[in-house]
Structure 1
Amino acid sequence: MLTPELASKFAALALGHVRREYPYKPDHVLAGPEDAKRPSELHPIFHGSFDWHSCVHGFWLLLRLLREYPDLPEAGAIRALADEMMVPEKVAGEVAYLARPTAAGFERPYGWGWLLKLHAEAAQHDAPWVAALEPLARAFAARFHAFLPKLTYAIRVGTHFNTSFALTLADDWAATHDPALRALIGERARAWFTGDRDCQAWEPGGDEFLSSALCEVRLMQRVLGDEFEDWFANFLPRAAQQQPASLFTPAVVSDRSDGKIVHLDGLNLSRAWCWKTVAGSVSDSGVRAAALDAADRHIAASLPHVAGDYMGEHWLATFALLALMGD
C-alpha cells in the first residue's frame, strides 16, 4: 500500500526532475535551422524529466499525491510549482507547439493520454490549474477525435505507441469532460478487441514497459462494464491456473542504467496496475487470487528500484503510484 513515507519519496523524486532540463530526449521535427531550440523554449511547462511525456506524468504524480496527502512535507513545493507552471501564458506556448505543421504526430498516443489524465487530476483540486490546462486538453482531445476513426488496426506493442494504454487514460478524462470522445473510445475498442480469444501473451519484449495483453484487459474493463467478465473468461481462459505463465512472471531487469532495459521495471509495475483491475472485476475466486498474487509479486520485483539511476528515476515512480493506488 502507499504510505505517507513512500508518497514523500515519490514527490521528492518528481520535484527533482520535472524542472531538470537536461538530459532531454525531444520528440521534435526540425523544419529548418531556426527550429533547433532548447527544451524550455519549445515547451514552457513540460521541458524536464528527460522527455515531454515523462514530465507530464511527473506533474500528474505530484498533483495526485497532493490530493491523497495534502499535508505531505512536499505539499507547499508542489502547490508553488503548479501555480508557477500551470498558467495560461505557458499553456499557450504548449498549444502553439502543437500547431506546428511538423507536430501532427507529436507524442501520439502516449503523451496525449497522459495530458488528459493530468487535466482530469487538476480538476480534482480547488485551484486555477484545471482552467489553465483546458485549452491543451481540448487540443489533444481533438486529436483523438480525428485520429481514432482512421486507426484501422490497434497498435499492440508494449511501448509508447500502445493504443489500449493511451485510451484507458483518455477514457478516464472523457468520462467527465467529453462524452462524445468516450463513446468513440468504446466504439473503437469494441471493434478492435471484442473478438480476441485465448491470448497467447508473447511478451515481454526486451524494452517493453506495458503489457500488450493486460493493457487491452484494462481498457476493456472500462468499456464493457457488466460484459467484461465474460469477455475476460474467453480472453484469458486459464488465468486461475496462472497461464500464460509469461503474464504472471515478473520481468528480469539486467541493467537499470540502460534506458531501454529499465523499461521492464515499468512493465512489472504497469502489470500490477492491470492485475488489480482484474481482481476487482471478476467473481471467480481463483482468478481473483491469481491476479492479486501476480500484482504483489510484480510490485515486489520493481518497487525497490524506482530511484538510483536517472534512466528509471525520471518516470518509474509514476508507474509505482498507478500500481499502488489502482488509478
Structure 2
Amino acid sequence: MNPLTAIRMEALLSGRSDQLGPDVAERLSNHPLDSIDTEFPHYARSVDSPDGIERPTERHPVFFGCYDWHSSVHSHWALIRQLRLFDEHPARSDIVDRIDDRFTAENIAREVEHFEDNETFEKPYGWAWFLHLVSELCLWEDDRAAAWRSILKPLEETIVTLIKSEFLPQKRPFRVGTHQNSAFALHCILDYARTLSNERLESAVTDTATAFYAEDRNYPVEYEPLGWDFLSPSLTEADLMRRVYSRNEFTMWIEQFLPDVTTAPYDTILEPVHTNPNRDEGVALHLVGLNLSKAWCLAGLASTLKDHQYVEAFERSAKQHMECGLDRAFTDEYAGSHWLSSFVLYLLTRNEGGIAPE
C-alpha cells in the first residue's frame, strides 16, 4: 500500500518532511534497508577472465548492495537523510546498526583502493550521489553523523580530487537522460560545495556549468524522452542553472534556452510518461524515476521563476509528474525497488536542506 495516498498533492509538493508521518518514513526505509544488504543480482560490468573475480562484498565492503555502487550510495543517503529529518523514525535503531556495521576505517580503505585502481569508476553519477551523502552528514548535528563523516573522509577526499582532475576539466557536457548526464552531477557537486562552504569548489563548478550551458538556445525538448531515461536532459540542465544564476539572470537564460513549452510540439516536455504495470518492467522502471526527477525539477524551476509566465504550467506539470511517479514508485520489483525510494525522498524533502542551498 502506498502511504502517500492520504496526503494532499499540494502538501507533498511543498518538499517539507513535516507533511510526512512515521508510516511514510517507515515505508521509505523498507526498500533501501533490504537493498543495501542484497549482494545479488549485481551489475558486474566487464569480466576479462574467469580468474580472480571478486564478489561485490569483497570489492566494495560498504557499497556492495542495491545492484550497483551508485544505487547503494544513494540508498545510504536516503537512510541517513531520514535519520536527520525524522526524530521518531520507526526503523532508527535498525538503520544505525546497519550503517555502523559497514562504516569502518578498514572498509572505507578498501573502497578508496578501488578508486585508486579505477579512476573513472562511477564517474560522474556515483561521485555526485556520494557528495550528497557527505552533505547530509554535515547537515545532521549529531555525534554519530560526525563520527561517520570522519570515517568516510578518505573516500570523500579521493572523490573530490577525482572530480577536479577527471570531471570538471571536460571539454563538453554529456546531454543524456541516464548516468552520464553532466548537469545532474554538477548540481550535486554544487550543492555539496555550498553546504560545506567550499568556495573554491563552488567557483570551479559554476565556471564549468557556465562554459557548458550559458550559450544553449532553443533546446529540442520535443525529443524527450530519448530512451529509458530517468532524467530529463533539458529540465536537469535548467535545474542546475537556476542554482548558478541570480533569479533575473536565470529568467533571461531560460527564456532563450527553452522554446515556448506552452505550445505544441514543445509542450510534450510537460507531460508525464505513463507506464503499464502489467507489461512494462525492468529498465522501463527508469521512466517512473523520470517522472519523479522531472517533478522536482519543475517544482524547483517554478519556485525560482516566481511570477514568470511558465510558473503556472510548471507547477501543474510538477503535480502531474509527482502523481504519476508516486503511483508506481513503491514497486516490489527489484529493478525499481533498489533505487526509487531515494528519488521519492529527494522529491518529498527537496526543501529540507542539502538540495539547492542558497
TM-score, with length taken from structure 2: 0.85
Would you say 1:246 and 2:268 are equivalent positions? Answer: yes
> How many residues are matched?
324
Partner of 2:291: 268
Would you say 1:137 and 2:180 are equivalent positions? Answer: no
CA contact (8 A) 1:123 1:130 kept: yes
Distance in 1 between residues matched to 2:276 and 2:176, nearest whole Å: 21
Would you say 1:313 and 2:342 are equivalent positions? Answer: no
- The correspondence of residues 74-113 of structure 1 with structure 2, limited to 5 A, is 74-100=91-117, 103-113=118-128
Distance in 2 between residues matched to 1:185 and 1:242, nearest whole Å: 34
Would you say 1:206 and 2:227 are equivalent positions? Answer: yes
Distance of aligned partners of 1:177 and 1:88 in 2 relative to their CA distance in 1, 3 Å threshold: farther
* Greater alpha carbon shift after TM alignment, 179-188 vs 291-300: 179-188
Distance in 2 between residues matched to 1:32 and 1:96, nearest whole Å: 21
Partner of 1:18: 36
* Greater alpha carbon shift after TM alignment, 137-146 vs 241-250: 241-250
Would you say 1:172 and 2:195 are equivalent positions? Answer: no
Gapped regions of structure 1 (runs ≥ 5): none
SS of the residue aligned with 1:281? helix
SS of the residue aligned with 1:71? coil
Partner of 1:36: 53
- The correspondence of residues 285-304 of structure 1 with structure 2, limited to 5 A, is 285-304=308-327
The CA deviation string for residues 219-261 of structure 1, in whole angstroms up to 9 with x for no partner, is 1111113321221122125245587222111112246763321
Distance in 2 between residues matched to 1:302 and 1:319, nearest whole Å: 10
Partner of 2:253: 231
Distance in 2 between residues matched to 1:225 and 1:88, nearest whole Å: 41
Distance in 1 between residues matched to 2:168 and 2:122, nearest whole Å: 18
Distance in 1 between residues matched to 2:224 and 2:241, nearest whole Å: 19
What amino acid maps onto 2:152 in structure 1?
Answer: L
Partner of 2:240: 219
* Greater alpha carbon shift after TM alignment, 291-300 vs 247-256: 247-256
What amino acid maps onto 2:290 in structure 1?
Answer: L
Distance in 2 between residues matched to 1:95 and 1:187, nearest whole Å: 28
The CA deviation at 1:21 is 0.8
SS of the residue aligned with 1:261? helix
CA contact (8 A) 1:26 1:52 kept: no
- The correspondence of residues 277-292 of structure 1 with structure 2, limited to 5 A, is 277-292=300-315
The CA deviation string for residues 19-61 of structure 1, in whole angstroms up to 9 with x for no partner, is 111111134x556655411100000100111111000000000
CA contact (8 A) 1:254 1:261 kept: no
The CA deviation string for residues 109-162 of structure 1, in whole angstroms up to 9 with x for no partner, is 100100111111112231211111111111111111012354111000000000
The CA deviation string for residues 83-126 of structure 1, in whole angstroms up to 9 with x for no partner, is 222222211111011111xx122111100100111111112231
Would you say 1:122 and 2:122 are equivalent positions? Answer: no
Distance of aligned partners of 1:171 and 1:149 in 2 relative to their CA distance in 1, 3 Å threshold: closer
CA contact (8 A) 1:242 1:290 kept: no
Q: Which has the higher contact order (CA 8 A, sep 6+)?
A: 2
TM-score, with length taken from structure 1: 0.93
Distance in 1 between residues matched to 2:262 and 2:97, nearest whole Å: 47
Distance in 2 between residues matched to 1:162 and 1:265, nearest whole Å: 18
Gapped regions of structure 2 (runs ≥ 5): 1-11, 13-18
The CA deviation at 1:308 is 2.4
Task: Quote the sequence identity (%).
Answer: 33
The CA deviation at 1:67 is 1.1
Distance in 1 between residues matched to 2:261 and 2:232, nearest whole Å: 15
RMSD after superposition: 1.9
